[in-house]
Amino acid sequence: MASASATIPIGYKQTEVGVIPEDWVVFSLGDFINYTKGFAFRSKDYQEYGTRILQVSDTDARGINDKNATYIDSTKAEKYSKWALRFGDIVVSTVGSKPPMYNSIVAKSTFIPEKYVGALLNQNAVILRTKNGSISEQIILHNHFQTKRYSNHIETIFRGNANQASITLVELFEFMIPFPINKIESERIGEIIDDTDSQIQALESLISKKRNIKQATMQELLTGKTRLPGFSGEWDAKSLGQIGDISGAGVDKKIIEGETPVRLVNYLDVYNRSFIYSDELDHHVTAPPSKAIKCSVRKGDVFFTPTSEVRDDIAVSAIAMENIPDGTYSYHVVRLRIRDDWDLNYRAYAFQTKAFLDQAAVLSDGSGTRYVISLPNFRKLKVLVPSKREQQAIGQILSDMDAEIAALEQRLEKTKAIKQGMMQQLLTGRIRLVDPSTPVEASA
C-alpha cells in the first residue's frame, strides 16, 4: 500500500490547508492583516447627500448597491477619517443571514473599487488590509474569501439563526491562508485574477447596456412612437378581454393519488422569464383530469403575475413558446389565451411596456403589504395592436436583441467558471507563475 506522502508531488508539502508548494507559507488571517471595525453612525445624522456611509445592507456578493444610499454632512467627515475606505480595501460583514443566503450572508467580502474611496464604513463590518498593503495581496485575499474552504469556515463559526447570524473577529481571524513568499509570484497571481475580474465586469457592464437599449427600443416600438420603415397607419387599442380569454383558478401544489400527473408553470417561472419552455418546468404535481385540461399550457399562451408585494410587479408576463402536453399553470398565475392571430414573438413583448404595467398598477387593489388585480380588471387592461406583418418585424428585432444578450450571458457564465477553476489552481500553487528556483523577495 502506497504511503500518503507518495501522492504529494515533488516540490510540494502537506499543510493544514492542503498540499501547497514548499516555498509557500500558511498564515492565519489575523497574522496577515490589520483591521478597523466600522463606526456606529447615528441614523439621525443621515441625509440624502454628502459623504457616503457604507452599510452592511449596501453590499452583496456582486458588489455595492446604491439604491438606498445613505450620507452624512461632508463637513463632519474629516473627524471620521479612521473609517474612510481606500481603493482595494476588503470589507467583511460581521452580521447577516445564515449561509448560504446570497445577498445578506454573514461574513460576505466586498472589494472596494475607486468609486467608493472616501466612503465611511458603518458598524457590523470590518475593514481588512494586508500588512504589506499591496493591491495584489488584497486581490488574492478577497478571492480566498470566495472559496468553498472559506464558506466552510464560516459555517462552523457563525452564531444565530437563518435571519440573523453573526461571527466574532477572533474566530474569523483563525481562517488559514496559503500564500507565496515570492513577491513576484503574488503580484502575478493578483494581476491574472484582476484581469479576469476586469473581463467579467466588462461583460456585466455590456449586458446591462444591452438590456437598457432593449428596454428603450421596446418602449419606442411597442407603443408606436417609432415606426419601422415601410409601416404606417393607426394601431388598434384593445383590451385583454377583447383579444382573448383570461382565466385564473389554477392547479394546487399537491400530489393526490389517482389524479393526472402534471407540471406547473409557477409564479417565479413567469416572474423570472420572458419565455417558457417545457424542459424548464420541474415542479411535478397532480390535478383532476378536467382541471388539467382547463389549465393546460399551449404554444402562445401568455401568463401573468396577478399579485405581489409591490404594484410594479403586477402583470409581469411570460409566454409559452411551445405546447406542453402535461403542463398546467398554478393558482398563483393568470393565463391569457389569445384568440386573434398574433405573432409569437410579439406576444412575448407586447405586455412589457411601462404603459401596460402602469395600467395594472392602477387597477390593482391592496393595503401596502400585498396587491392583487382581479380577473375583471385584468380584462380591462389595454394593449396596442399593429398589423400581423408589423408585429413580426417588431418581434424579430426584439428577439434578436434577446438572443444577443443571451449569448453574452453565456459568455459571462463561462468566464466566471473559468475563473473559479483558475482560482483553485492559482490560490493553492498548483499552477506556478514563477520558477521556484528564482531568488525570493518576500511578499508577506
Can you give the residue ranges of every domain in the chain? 25-179, 180-232+387-444, 236-385
Percent of the chain at pLDDT > 90 equals 68
* Whether the predicted pLDDT of 46 surpasses 50: yes
Quote the pLDDT of residue 25.
Answer: 93
Residue type, 59: T
What is the CATH number assigned to the segment(s) 236-385? 3.90.220.20
Helices and strands, counts by H and E, the chain: 12, 30
pLDDT bin (cut points 50, 70, 90) of residue 385 is very high
Which range, of 21-25, 60-64, 126-130, 221-225, averages the lowest pLDDT? Answer: 60-64
Quote the pLDDT of residue 71.
Answer: 94
* Whether the predicted pLDDT of 103 surpasses 50: no
Quote the pLDDT of residue 3.
Answer: 46
Quote the pLDDT of residue 312.
Answer: 85
Domain 180-232+387-444 = CATH 1.10.287.1120: yes
* Whether the predicted pLDDT of 256 surpasses 70: yes
pLDDT bin (cut points 50, 70, 90) of residue 58 is confident
Question: The whole model's pTM is what?
Answer: 0.77
Quote the pLDDT of residue 366.
Answer: 84
Contact 382, 238 (CB under 8 A): yes
Cell numbers found for residue 229? 420603415
Cβ-count burial of 145 within 10 angstroms (0-12 exposed, 13-18 middle, 19+ buried)? Answer: buried
* Whether the predicted pLDDT of 102 surpasses 50: no
* Whether the predicted pLDDT of 434 surpasses 80: no
Among residues 374, 259, 393, 267, which one has the least CA distance to residue 326?
259
* Whether the predicted pLDDT of 123 surpasses 90: yes
Residue written as grid cell 403586477: 314
pLDDT bin (cut points 50, 70, 90) of residue 57 is confident
Cβ-count burial of 234 within 10 angstroms (0-12 exposed, 13-18 middle, 19+ buried)? Answer: exposed
Residue 308: alpha-carbon gap to chain centroid: 20
Percent of the chain at pLDDT > 70 equals 94
Query: Stretch 392-412: mean pLDDT, rounded?
Result: 95
Query: Stretch 219-243: mean pLDDT, rounded?
Result: 92
* Whether the predicted pLDDT of 315 surpasses 80: yes
Among residues 248, 271, 210, which one has the least CA distance to residue 408?
210
Please indicate whether the domains covering 180-232+387-444 and 236-385 agree at the CATH topology level: no
Question: Which CATH code, of 3.40.50.720, 3.90.220.20, 3.40.605.10, 3.40.50.150, is assigned to 25-179?
Answer: 3.90.220.20
Query: Stretch 237-257: mean pLDDT, rounded?
Result: 91
Mean pLDDT of the chain: 89
Quote the pLDDT of residue 65.
Answer: 84
Query: Is the pLDDT higher at 86 or at 312?
Result: 86
Three-class DSSP category at 43: helix
Contact 178, 23 (CB under 8 A): no
Quote the pLDDT of residue 1.
Answer: 43
Among residues 189, 150, 147, 190, which one has the least CA distance to residue 173?
150
Query: Stretch 258-272: mean pLDDT, rounded?
Result: 91
End-to-end CA distance of the chain: 39
